[in-house]
Amino acid sequence: MTETRKRFALLGAYEELTEKETFCLKEANFDAVKEVQAKKAKLVGELQRFEGGGQLSPSEKEEFNSRIEILLGSEKENEALLEALKSENRAQFKSLVKQSNSVSKIRKAYGSASNPTTPTRTLKGQA
What are the tens digits of pLDDT across the range 48-94? 887 765 688 899 989 999 999 999 999 999 999 999 999 999 999 99
> Domain for residue 100, yes or no?
no
pTM for the structure as a whole: 0.71
What are the tens digits of pLDDT across the range 4-36? 889 999 999 999 999 999 999 999 999 999 999
> Domain for residue 63, yes or no?
yes
The answer for residues whose C-beta is within 8 angstroms of residue 123's C-beta and 6 or more apart is none
| Number of domains the chain is built from | 1
CB atoms within 10 A of CB 32: 15
What are the tens digits of pLDDT across the range 102-125? 888 887 778 655 555 655 666 677
> Domain for residue 121, yes or no?
no
> Domain for residue 97, yes or no?
no
> Domain for residue 113, yes or no?
no
Domain containing 57 equals 3-87
Measured in whole angstroms, the distance separating CA 17 from the mean position of its chain's CA atoms is 14
CB 24, CB 32: distance < 8 Å? yes
> Domain for residue 15, yes or no?
yes
Q: Buried b / exposed e across 74-89, counting CB within 10 Å, b at 16+?
A: eeeebeeeeeeeeeee
Rounded distance, CA 127 to CA 78, Å? Answer: 78
> Domain for residue 96, yes or no?
no
At 42 the pLDDT is 95
> Domain for residue 101, yes or no?
no
Measured in whole angstroms, the distance separating CA 108 from the mean position of its chain's CA atoms is 37
At 2 the pLDDT is 85
